[in-house]
Chain A
Amino acid sequence: MQRFRSDGGSIYDLPRPAFRRLRIYSLDPSLAQSLDTMAIRETRIEVPWELTEDGLGDGPEPGPRGEYLEVIDYDAPNQVFYKPVDLNDNYLLAQDGLPPSDGNPQFHQQMVYAVAMRTIRNFELALGRRALWAPRRREKKGRFSEEFVRRLRIYPHALREANAYYSPEKKALLFGYFPATPADAGQHMPGSMVFTCLSHDVVAHETAHALLDGMHRRLIEASNPDCLALHEAFADLVALLQHFSLTDVVRHVVGRTRGDLGIGNLLVELAQEFGRAAGYSGALRSAIGQPPDPGALDRAEEPHARGAILVAAVFDAFLAIYRLRTADLVRLATQGSGVLPAGEIHPDLVERLAREAAKSAQQVLNICIRALDYLPPVDVVFGDYLRALITADFDLVTDDRYGYRVAFIESFRRRGIYPKEVRSLSEESLRWEGPALAGTSPDSQLSLGRELRGTMAAWDLCGDRREIYENTREARKAAHAVIEATRDYKQTILKGVDLTQGRFEVHSLCPVRRIGPNGEFLTDVVLQVTQRRPGCLARSEGREQCLPPLDFAPDLEPDFWFRGGCTLIFDLASGLLRYCIYKDINSQNRYERQRRYLESGLASGAFLRATYAGGRDDKGQDEVFALVHRGLRGGGA
């Protein structure tokens, strides 16, 4: 069969399309067989049109295998390879990919590819730079080396259980499938196969874990109860908000509304409906729609219970923003009464409401993602995330005309999430502090910024991802040298790290764009510097009294690593330091808190198998997300 695809694009000089449309299940496949929801069983999403690796042909290769992702459909329990889907097949191009089907593994491949690509794109759009996966880290004789990982692997049929997780070790997403149990009989035929990779929210959630790990590797080190909770909550918010930006489903739900336009409730139900997918934990969404209880956070210990509160807070903000944006529409349609005449609502109104919901969701998603650049490098807590949200949004939209930031602050406050260290919950006290306020010397700051600018002048942000990765590494080395040279300065120029002792690491470095006061595009540089100090649990007797020195080398591996450091945000043009967000390496309080937390046995997945696995695993780290997810399944499917 002749293919129209040619190495140089079209023979008739047609330009390549920018996007490819692919079909996915918009709700859980079991709902596709229900008359109520048949009309919206599938939806089409747009993903970027990829090129082959050499940039000449049309990607992705069969698999699909493109620039970011590599779907390998190996069914390990059955030891079978399934045939890969070729999205550039003419027949598939003509119909936006395969039609949704749970019996065709090639559709499964298409769906995980489509949803994961969309998630990646949302990150790239929000951050204004290309997404990189976490590098592979290897230790050889005590020295770490990092290796670029171009593609995240996706195994749509890796497990034979109701679970799916991101493996930080393998840089891969593993999805499971399982026979429906008689308990699910309302939804599934008992014994029929249920696939976690056919749920939009599951795929987006796992991809978001991978993207977040690529940005903040240390967030999976549970040094406090919020780290894993934030990881989980954030991944779920991405899945949820991204799902709301699919207008088809929202339109359908809004169209069913009669009379009352209390659409907030509908959206709450929908959020839970999205989460009701196969093998997916509903626990993270359990607080959505519950009346806010500021004390709930203090009582919740387990990562999902805490995460659920953060999810609910952001969702409240989303609803508030949605209400603000549609208040005029409701008034127009109801002539100020707020009550519609009986019968179906006008399709134009349905369309406008659905679009507003999708738009609000997309904007809230962008704000949530952008905030990631404004987090401290280690030991993040929920309060830090609120401050990051406010600061990041301020940098993009100086004037909070639509009240977005107020909506966030209010809904976080009502759920009891606020930073302990700020004086008030006003916007300006929530914003991170600049250098002058952080009490460090502006002169040496400036020189550091200028030096960085010099090393990054030739930095190409648009090139190949491997080049970006390599350039970033070079820039990190250069930044390390600059900071190293300041070691003997009398004044401290960095908060959070202690340059009088020990080694330090330039953990990451990346650009972030913002809009200046006059509407001009500006680029900032986010630089994270970290240090670590060995920590001892109380069982190592006599050593727990004080902070061990940074360069203290115990005979054995330390019980844990205590980390500190700062996130510096520089203006690239002027070299001025704009923010310094830090966690002090010399903080005795923080050290004690982390030690107590680790001893409490609630850290990471450890609480599930504390007795049996013992403290550290000597080899083969446990799959932290596999554990966290598995521990949780009871609540959902």
Chain B
Amino acid sequence: MDFAAPAGGCAVRMYRQGLGDCFLLAFADLEGGQKRLLIDCGVLVGTKDARQRMQAVVGDIRQATGGRLDILVVTHEHWDHVSGFVQARKEFERLEIGQVWLAWTEDENDPLARELRERHRSALRALGLAQTRWRKAHPEADSGLSARVEALLGFYGPGLATQGGSLTQDAMDWVKDRHPQPIYLKPGGEPAVIPGLEGPRFYVLGPPLDPKLIYKGDPAKGSGEVYLGDLSQGWPGLQFGVLEAEAGAAEPPPPFNPAYRFWGDAPHRMQIEDRYRSEPWRTIDQDYLDAVGQLALMLDNHTNNTSLAMAIELTPGRAVLLFPGDAQRGNWSSWETVRWTGAGAGTTTQDLLGRTVLYKVGHHGSHNATARGLGLELMNHPGLAALIPVDRETAAQKRWQMPYPPLFRRLLERTGGRLLLSDRGWEVDPAAPAVAEFAARCRETELYFEVAFPPAT
């Protein structure tokens, strides 16, 4: 039990497993009694030695907590947030877990949540099958598109295409089974607390209750957005028999009476086909598959928006830690109108953001997971610091802009350099005057970074 918060304060440990989230938090009462909470535990598909890394992480968690987690929080169903529950299951089985906190969108008994998930899963299944088919149809093709889709599907765990189901879902199911009564959190209402600890209050900000906002992913303004929810189960680009074939039905009905087709090698057909192939650079054999990439992207945004977003107030009216999961635009933009009751009555989101001293940067610093006007620009606390769980090498390999340079620059400005990246740590000299005080509260090992927040903050 080497992980403890200062009496009346808090400590945050960011693990360095790669591109993925795993945060261990400790809270202490005034007598120094410790409560511990874990937010997510995963690493991206394709990370080298992922299993060993996650086992090391969970092994450390077990040691640090003395084998007991008071709360296990899982923000959303993406592999880079949940892989540990599969890869290090044995270690997790040996952890005692007090409560499980999940977003309301995971609740099996909530009709809206169920509908969202059904839709999401059928789209995911279709994507997996489309990918398999495509590979089969074009074994030699190694187009940028294919790689791009595959990388996105990686968020749902390995082998999605081959197994037809997602391992991410397995991980989530395992988490739900950890406790007979997982707690499903909705934005607003009474702030949540850790049983047996008065101090920290957990203000739930998202996911929003309006599904339209969940489907809102990109920071584009205006009316130009596509919502996954507007599409029926028959996402048009995927209609090439994928869902039907799975159901065992025949091919989908052709658009025209077969009499209009050319059959076999009728001479006229050959003439047309020769003409079509005569300029290979103008053929369109694969263009229709581009829609798959688009769907994968939308699905990814959508899942990110189901993130459980929380503002953790350490002592009433004082410092706040912001853990938004991977919330994207729709999720962020809904916070403004959230209202709390009970101990949280009168608190506003703007107020919480203004008191934020630690921001866990969403979605590894991508361009669309940190709101500007409604987010970062409202974090006005002079001591604001940020943690970015990212692995820039992996991101670069996948050609993802993580962290997104303009956002990264702004983060550096807003935090005055009090910024830690899980891959290589400091971006500025930690001895610099603006950073030194914060740096003194930080601790670094091969496996994690740790920050302490004494009660005075």
Contacts and interface: CB of A to CB of B under 8 A. Distances in A.
Given A301-B221, A302-B221, A612 B152 contact: yes
Given A539-B405, A620-B143, A76 B218 contact: no
Contact of B256 (A74, A76, A103, A136): A103
A82 B262 CA distance: 6
Contact of A155 (B256, B273, B284): B284
Interface string A19-36: 000000000000000000
Contacts of A302: 220-222, 224
Contacts of A286: 223
B262 A635 contact: no
Contacts of B257: 103
B275 A608 contact: no
Interface string B221-232: 111111100111
Contacts of A191: 234
B389 to A, nearest CB: 15
B218 A619 contact: no
Contacts of A78: 240, 254-255
Interface in B197-254: 218-227, 230-232, 234, 236-237, 239-240, 252, 254
Interface stretch (A48-56, A169-177, A311-319): A169-177
Contacts of B252: 179
Size category of the A interface is 35 or more
Interface residues of B, number: 63
B400 A635 contact: no
Contacts of B405: 537-539, 599
Contact of A630 (B226, B262, B366): B226
Interface string A175-209: 01111011100000001010100000000000000
The winner among B144, B145, B220 for most chain A CB atoms within 10 A is B220
B345 to A, nearest CB: 35
A187 to B, nearest CB: 14
A182 B221 CA distance: 28
Given A81-B262, A283-B223, A630-B294, A104 B256 contact: yes
A465 interface: no
Contacts of B282: 153, 170-172
A99 interface: no
Nearest to A609: B297
A632 B221 contact: no
Contact of A283 (B221, B224, B269): B224
Contact of A161 (B236, B285, B401): B236
A80 interface: yes
B367 interface: yes
A612 B226 contact: no
Nearest to A305: B222
Contacts of B143: 620
The winner among A70, A302, A304, A620 for most chain B CB atoms within 10 A is A302
A575 interface: no
A266 to B, nearest CB: 24
Nearest to A304: B224
A246 interface: no
A634 interface: yes
A634 B216 CA distance: 12
Interface in B119-177: 143-145, 148, 151-152
Given A305-B224, A539-B405, A607-B220, A170 B400 contact: no
Contacts of B400: 611-612, 614
A471 B283 CA distance: 29
Nearest to A75: B255
B226 A631 contact: yes
Given A160-B237, A611-B368, A613-B148, A83 B223 contact: no
Interface in B376-404: 398-402, 404
B401 A611 contact: yes
Contacts of B288: 76-77, 158-161, 176
Interface in B256-281: 256-257, 260-262, 268-269, 272-273, 275-276, 281
A260 to B, nearest CB: 30
B290 interface: yes
A105 interface: yes
Contacts of B273: 81
Given A161-B237, A613-B399, A633 B406 contact: no
Contacts of B30: none
A84 interface: yes
Contacts of A300: 221-222
B297 A72 contact: no
Given A163-B291, A601-B406, A631 B236 contact: no
B31 interface: no
Contact of A601 (B221, B224, B404): B404
A59 B268 CA distance: 18
A105 B226 contact: no
A533 interface: no
A539 B429 CA distance: 19
Contact of A72 (B220, B269, B275, B399): B275
Nearest to A65: B275
A460 interface: no
B297 A615 contact: no
A302 B224 CA distance: 8
A626 interface: yes
A84 B230 contact: no
Given A177-B255, A612-B151, A631-B220, A81 B272 contact: yes
B409 interface: yes
A374 B442 CA distance: 62
A600 interface: yes
A538 B282 CA distance: 37
B290 A611 contact: no
A276 B355 CA distance: 48
A626 B294 CA distance: 11
B221 A74 contact: no
A565 B236 CA distance: 44
B307 to A, nearest CB: 16
Given A83-B268, A104-B260, A602-B220, 8 more contacts: A80-B262, A105-B256, A158-B288, A159-B291, A160-B236, A160-B288, A302-B221, A609-B297
6 contacts: A74-B276, A159-B287, A172-B282, A181-B234, A183-B232, A611-B367
The 9 closest A-B pairs by CB, nearest first: A614-B399, A305-B222, A178-B236, A161-B237, A181-B232, A611-B366, A161-B236, A302-B222, A634-B226
Interface of A: 63, 65, 70, 72, 74-78, 80-84, 103-106, 136, 153, 155, 157-163, 167, 169-172, 174, 176-179, 181-183, 191, 193, 195, 283, 286, 299-302, 304-305, 537-539, 599-602, 607-615, 617-620, 623, 626, 630-635
Interface of B: 143-145, 148, 151-152, 218-227, 230-232, 234, 236-237, 239-240, 252, 254-257, 260-262, 268-269, 272-273, 275-276, 281-288, 290-291, 294, 297, 363, 366-368, 398-402, 404-406, 409
